[in-house]
Amino acid sequence: MSEIPLDRYSQPSDDFPFTLNGSTVVDTPVEPLATGLAINITPSSEFATLTIEETVQKLRTDIKVGINNMEEVQRRREIHGSNEVISEDDEDGDSGAWGLLKKFLSNFIEDRLILLLIGSAVVSAILNNIGDAISITAAIVIVVLVGFIQEYKSEKSIEALNKLVPAMCHLIRFGRQSHVLASTLVPGDIIVFRVGDRIPADIRIIESVDLSLDESSLTGEPDPVHKYVDPVDMNPNGVIPISERHCIAFMGTLVKEGHGKGIVVATGKETAFGSIFQMMSTVDKPKTPLQLAMDQLGKQLSLFSFVVIGIICLIGIWQGRSWLDMFQISVSLAVAAIPEGLPIIVTVTLALGVLRMAKRKAIVRRLPSVETLGSVNVICTDKTGTLTANHMTVAKMWCLSSMANKENILNIASVTDLRNYLTTDVRKTLEIGSICNNATFSVDHSKFLGNPTDIAILEELDRFDMVDQRPKFDKLKEIPFSSKRKFMAVKVIEKDTKDSLVCVKGAFEVIVNHSLNYITDAGKIEILSDKDRGTIIECANHLASDGLRVLALATKALANGDNESSLETSDITDLTFAGLVGMRDPPRPTVKPAIEQLLQGGVHIIMITGDSPNTAISIANQIGIPVVDNETSVMTGDKLKAMTSDELSHVINHVNIFARATPEDKLNIVEALKKRGDVVAMTGDGVNDAPALKLADIGISMGIIGTDVAKEASDMILTDDDFSTILTAVEEGKGIFNNIQNFLTFQLSTSIAALSMIALATALNLPNPLNAMQILWINILMDGPPAQSLGVEPVDHEVMRKPPRSRSEAILTKAVLGRILGTAICIILGTVLICVKEMSDDGEPSTRDTTMTFTCFVIFDMFNALACRHATKSIFEIGLFSNTMFNLSVGLSLIAQLCVIYVPVLQHVFKTENLSAFDLVLLTCLGSTVFIMDEIRKFIVNQYLTNFVEQENRYATTV
């Protein structure tokens, strides 16, 4: 990654005296920050260690007035730029009309097949074959234009999602608070924020009132992070992890609770978001398997063209023909060998796939990505929100008195009327959960907003016929949850009785250690014995083993008159234990069947989560991800970090779960998989996921919970965040590749047959059986509607039973080449048979001879197209009329051929004459042989496969 330029804050002007708490700041030089920083060492890393006074002095601002000089604002903006994170193309001015033109023109030189076609058009023009030159040029422009327009539309459809910086913010500048565009911020500005606001830049917090932020987009941790004003102690290595900068509010994070105020310390690319975005720009997006296959095909066709030119030239010169004549003939044959319509059909097929995927809630940003999904053999997926519903619910409850042991746990999900279970200890547990809670109900959204755990408790009250208890109390003080304390506590006073109490919820081991008593089902307070503590811990572990997040709830009554707004950690002692609550984020109902089908198709599913191994295994068992052995199938983030990429690539084939993993670990996982040659799809939603999303063959971001940077780095966006949508995308990709192979078989077999006939006639010094217009017409049919319609053949759902193709597998496999050559030979033999039969009458090709040969070839072509609709299944099995576009295009092509034969004007153009009904019947019977032969081939192949599977099953049964 390139160095992040952080030098910096301009000197104050002589007439601009900054003040701190009313006193003038001494005009001393501003110290530049260190340069050459790593991804986590941004300005926020330095300012996190400074006090508020040091921050104010370093940034030369005022915490009450803000920056008080417009010239200073302009100077800082010139140094730091606009508070936006934009791509390098946009930064270089390539986002306008000129940028679009450059992007369009670049498509002409990035595809080897396009370059070959351009060369063919130039040679045709030089040889005065203007018609060929125009048709090839038109084909090139169409294919590039279709692909460019479709990708441009895909970019526009998600443009609204790619705005990194929030639009507006509350700014204090010139002593006034105003609502301004976040892009106008500069370091030193004072920002005010409250619940629901997105942080507009990296900010050093100077005021914090019950402030907690959702930093999941940046760190991957789902729980809100509480923020304070105290500086962070410097680590010995000088690097402070983002998760530990508790006095910094990061750009793009969301205020979940409380409110605060802070000083902007970094904008744009200097923020934590910006540094990751810049790192992402250094990761090159690999070519898709289809692009690699098309490149290889371009090389093969280029080699084939040169071989044809060489051979024909040598034969002609040996026969005594002129160099110029033989060069013209050879180039014409070489141009004829190249299917000009192939890039068009590939592009249109991919574009139609993109449109179908959009209807199935997946926006594909790059056309080749649709097909790449069919090659994916490893899918790395997040758990929360993708495999699960991203909505925490209370699944089970347990109280010591009313339920006694782990066999009596209340399974809330299976009970219809929970009011029958509302004993005093259950009621008290729910009341504590209601009071020790910061979630709020939003009328605008018609739902609770806040911490998912808090929301889950409040949503459960109604099922117990209870109401939120908070209106009955006034909150005096709160101790927010932290990963170190592992609990949250509030001190409240009841409005009517003026009784004070403390309500606590948190990790069960902490609450139990601080509890002295417990409440019984009758409401009495009893002493908590060691045996009781063991029972609580046993039940809590039992709930955790079921994949639940376990919270313990307790309370403490205070002496009358204790209404002081003070509450310290040391006060959380001698608690009265109430009960345990087990919560889960349930799997999406569509995930399990989707995983089953993907596993059948040979796709390796890897779940990546920050949860504990036990929770991850529990979810995996529920959704069907195989966990053969807990030691080899599950790997923790700590173990992952201790391994090299080579070591990981050797063992990752057996790993199905990465637990306690961070977003940064994803990059290592992708690198290890790609070293093995896997085609990898990676899901992600956070900013830290972006580099891994870009490095993966298919980066898949979430449309609902995904961040803008993740969407920018991805190839596909799931608008419903549902894992099962990936299944439909993989199925679509496999179907598209099959269609590409099918119409490639059709095009190349027809092309080889036509080329071979012309080459043989030239080599043997015989009259050409087809004239120029007839050859052009065959090329139109070969590249036209029949070929296009093969690209929209409905997807065969059985493709999911076939393993993904290898990254290095050629698009022209041995099986495809066999079909192409077999079909071409059949067409050549049949057409030559008609040609020889007709010419045997007078020895010279007449109009009737060429009409019969021409029509025979076209009918062969149509039956060949019918045979190419599926590689292994009979046409009668997939449905003769299942592809409406194919039937329509072939029907129109046959009608057009009849017009060529019987319409006088077209007879003159194509040099044809009327044929009898017997002639047409004869040609139809002969042309159908290519279809019949292919049906026989499919039958033999299917019988062989069936027998092979039966033998394998018998062998497995015997063993």
Q: Residue 415: which residues within 8 A CB-CB, separation 6 or more?
A: 421
Q: Residue 343: which residues within 8 A CB-CB, separation 6 or more?
A: 111, 113, 114, 117, 139, 140, 143
Q: Residue 172: which residues within 8 A CB-CB, separation 6 or more?
A: 64, 65, 66, 189, 190, 191, 192
By the 8 A CB rule, do 431 and 439 touch? no
By the 8 A CB rule, do 73 and 12 touch? no
Q: 400 burial class (0-12, 13-18, 19+ CB within 10 angstroms)?
A: buried
Helix (H) / strand (E) element for 895: namely helix 884-902
Helix (H) / strand (E) element for 824: namely helix 814-839
Q: How far apart are CA 309 and CA 313, in angstroms?
A: 6
* Number of residues in the chain: 959
Helix (H) / strand (E) element for 477: namely strand 473-479
By the 8 A CB rule, do 676 and 606 touch? no
Nearest to 553 by CA among 399, 336, 417: 399
Number of CB atoms found within 10 A of residue 536's CB = 24
**Annotated catalytic, 382?**
yes
Q: 417 burial class (0-12, 13-18, 19+ CB within 10 angstroms)?
A: exposed
Number of CB atoms found within 10 A of residue 865's CB = 28
Q: How far apart are CA 616 and CA 692, in angstroms?
A: 21
Q: Which of 202, 214, 223, 382 is catalytic?
A: 382
Structure tokens at 811: 């698009």
Number of CB atoms found within 10 A of residue 543's CB = 25
Q: How far apart are CA 404 and CA 136, in angstroms?
A: 82
Paired with 490 in beta bridges are: 478, 503
CA atoms in the 13 A half-sphere facing the CB of 842? 6
User: Backbone phi, then psi, for 475, in 5-degree steps?
Assistant: -80, 125
By the 8 A CB rule, do 673 and 652 touch? yes
Q: How far apart are CA 74 and CA 262, in angstroms?
A: 21
By the 8 A CB rule, do 95 and 111 touch? no
Catalytic residue ranges:
382
